[in-house]
Amino acid sequence: MIRIGIIGLGHWGPNYLRIFNQLEHSKVVSVCDQDKNKKNLIKNTNIKFYSDYKDMLKDPDIDACVIATPASTHYSITKEFIKTNRDVLVEKPLAVSVKECEELVNLAVKKNVKLMVGHTFLFNDGINWLKNFISNDGIGKPYYFYAVRTNLGPIREDVDALLDLATHDISIFYYVLEEEPVYVSAVGSSFLNNKRVDVSTLKIKFTNNVDCYAHVSWLQPCKIRQITVVGDKKMVVFDDVNVNEPVRIYDKSVEIEKTYSDFGEFKMILRDGDIVVPKIKMAEPLKNQCQHFIDCIVSNKKIISDGKFGLEIVKVLEAAEKSLRQGGKEVKIEK
């Protein structure tokens, strides 16, 4: 039985509390939040409550911890728990800089502990279906990905919309393509606070010459969570808001046909076929993620979204932030 401590009971913390108490090989033994009113979440239980994570560090009953605090605190809290030889699941992003991420990854290796980053979409059944479909030549040669992630809020106080929202889409691109990002360019605007970008669009070029675009905003009236994948044979749309039909396959493409009435003349043919909705058995992604964390601890398996994966995502984000400051200039992503 893996005994879990949870730091942060804001948006995601209560979900972690619920799920880890449902799983067969884990149980929550303590929680921590600066807001003492959060203690109501564990009333009538034997779960211990802390208002300071440094007090929680001394709890001998914790085997592993979940860090669901603001992004700006991930580095410092994760570092302290790794130092105590606890396995750690930290919400995305791993940290807010490449330097901090590298330090956490190296420390986890040194201490021989599991470090997992909560890139939840890697455990989404729709995304995994999409990954398998593309890898099995379902769309033919991939041309480009286009992601839209918008809503009215929630507006973060410690990071901008790029770091908060684009993290999801970058992790999906990286996971599905299994290729290295080469460079990124990003533009954005600040309407609510000059220090933070509220809306941004970025482009990532991958080694297989696939372009990936992402548009993110927390200042838009409609909640949209879509990724469109365009290939030379078919096109696919993943819609995370549509719980009944998360994936649609469009048997559409543009074919180039050479005609011989004139030497070198080409003709574009639009092919418009059926729309297919595959049957995908969907489970709660966060529950899949938590189960994976426990399985990897119990069986000493490699974590899919480990510290190194989280580091690669922050490399792209850091380069995107640099591009933003340079007015959209292409910035090479460090290896």
pLDDT band, residue 261 (cuts 50/70/90): low
59-112 pLDDT per residue, tens: 999 999 999 999 999 999 999 999 999 999 999 999 999 999 999 999 999 999
- The one-letter code for the residue type at 235 is M
What are residue 311's phi and psi, to 5 degrees?
-60, -45
Query: 119 pLDDT exceeds 80?
Result: yes
pLDDT value of residue 335: 81
pLDDT band, residue 252 (cuts 50/70/90): confident
Query: Per the omega criterion (within 30 degrees of 0), is the bond before 285 cis?
Result: no
Structure tokens at 305: 């979204």
188-197 pLDDT per residue, tens: 999 998 788 9
CB of 200 within 8 A of CB of 324? Answer: yes
Rg (CA), the chain: 22
pLDDT value of residue 195: 82
pLDDT band, residue 159 (cuts 50/70/90): confident
Strands (E), 43-161: 48-50, 64-67, 87-91, 115-118, 142-152
pLDDT band, residue 267 (cuts 50/70/90): low
- Domains, the chain, ordered by start: 2-119+286-314 (3.40.50.720), 122-283 (3.30.360.10)
pLDDT value of residue 265: 53
283-315 pLDDT per residue, tens: 999 999 999 999 999 999 999 999 999 999 999
39-48 pLDDT per residue, tens: 999 998 999 9
Report the chain's mean pLDDT, rounded to a whole number.
Answer: 94
pLDDT value of residue 259: 57
Overall average pLDDT of the 210-226 stretch? 97
pLDDT value of residue 258: 59
- Residue owning tokens 């010459």: 209
Query: 50 pLDDT exceeds 60?
Result: yes
